[in-house]
Amino acid sequence: MEGLGVNGFWLDRPTFVTGGTGLVGGWLVRRLVEAGAEVVCLVRDWVPQSELVRSGLLDRVRVARGDVRDQAVLERILGEYEIDTVIHLAAQTIVGIANRNPVSTFETNVGGTWALLEAARRSPPVRQIVLASSDKAYGDQERLPYDETTPLNGRHPYDVSKSCADLIATAYAVTYDLPVAITRCGNFYGGGDLNGNRIVPGTVRSVIRGERPVVRSDGTFVRDYFYVEDGAAAYMLLAERLAADPALRGEAFNFSNEEERTVLDLIGKILARMSSHLVPEVRNEASNEIRRQVLSAEKARRVLGWKPLYGLDEGLDRTIAWYRAYFGGAEAA
């Protein structure tokens, strides 16, 4: 499998992960630990339900307490742990929260990015930085699918925060020759996401409880859904390729299964796989969200030799199995 460190790249490599308690972070840390990396996780809040904590992974890594916006803390971590590779995932990731609290979103997603990159610029041992942007950085575009030449055109708070962070990473690569590369992934789903406002965990939880799944939009919004373990593997692969080829500095890569699905289509697949006849409740309350997003991953396939490990069906099966185990007590009741 790509990105699992089978070539020894990650063995004993001092690796700094921000956002380790998030959805992708827990699965990324698992893969890094399995590959033999010496992982240091930045942790701001204690989240006992996170995959990082409940799986016991936290006991297998070094934990540095702090906020991603604190440049001095970041410089200390990079220096004291002699960090070689940085994977920056920490962000405020919920569109609704960004609409309600734009300043905190900008401070974390934009300010946190420049704090990390400036700290890395002042830390000579850092050799690779993978920065997680998003397909939202492209904003709303008429030409689809997005490729990496599509302008970054965010208009609403969350989208703008990702456009800005993405551009800041490019500025550090071009101006200071910082070894940073950028990922733009579709909508992540997978076990460990306990935010019930997101469509996959919300739907699975509703089915387990015998309640109708709630759709905040009109159900016709189109997204690229990307399995979380594929995302973790893609981040690791990009770090490996960046180490081998300095010309990748400043480059961005889309990662996607290249399947466009409406919200109602995805819910239908989940209901079918859980043998449920529940009918979704469509509320049509969503605002400031992009209606249609589809990514092209041709560049990642061509330049990095990347391909997804899981299709949508297999990813959903693995995700549903995780939630059945997690919600087992409620399901039995």
Q: Where does residue 80 fall: left (phi above 0), alpha (psi -120 to 50 degrees), or beta otherwise?
A: alpha
Spatial separation of the C-alpha atoms in residues 302 and 307, rounded to whole Å: 10
Quickly count: other Cβ atoms within 10 Å of residue 125's Cβ: 12
The reply to whether omega before 201 is within 30° of 0 (cis) is: no
C-alpha distance from residue 44 to each of 18, 41, 195 (Å): 9, 10, 18
Which of helix, strand or coil describes residue 261? strand
Cβ–Cβ < 8 Å for 252, 181: yes
b/e map 138-165, b = 16+ CB within 10 Å:
bbeeeeebbebebebebebbbbbbbbbb
Cβ–Cβ < 8 Å for 31, 230: no
Tokens of 111: 């300010």
DSSP per-residue codes, 267-315: HHHHHHHTT-----EE-----S--SB--B--HHIIIII----S--HHHH
Asked if 158 is an active-site residue, the reply is yes
Q: Which residues contact 142 (CB under 8 A, 6 or more apart)?
A: none
Tokens of 140: 């709303």
Quickly count: other Cβ atoms within 10 Å of residue 74's Cβ: 29
Active-site residue, from 138, 158, 189, 310: 158
Quickly count: other Cβ atoms within 10 Å of residue 73's Cβ: 17
Give the residue numbers annotated as catalytic, written as ranges.
Answer: 158
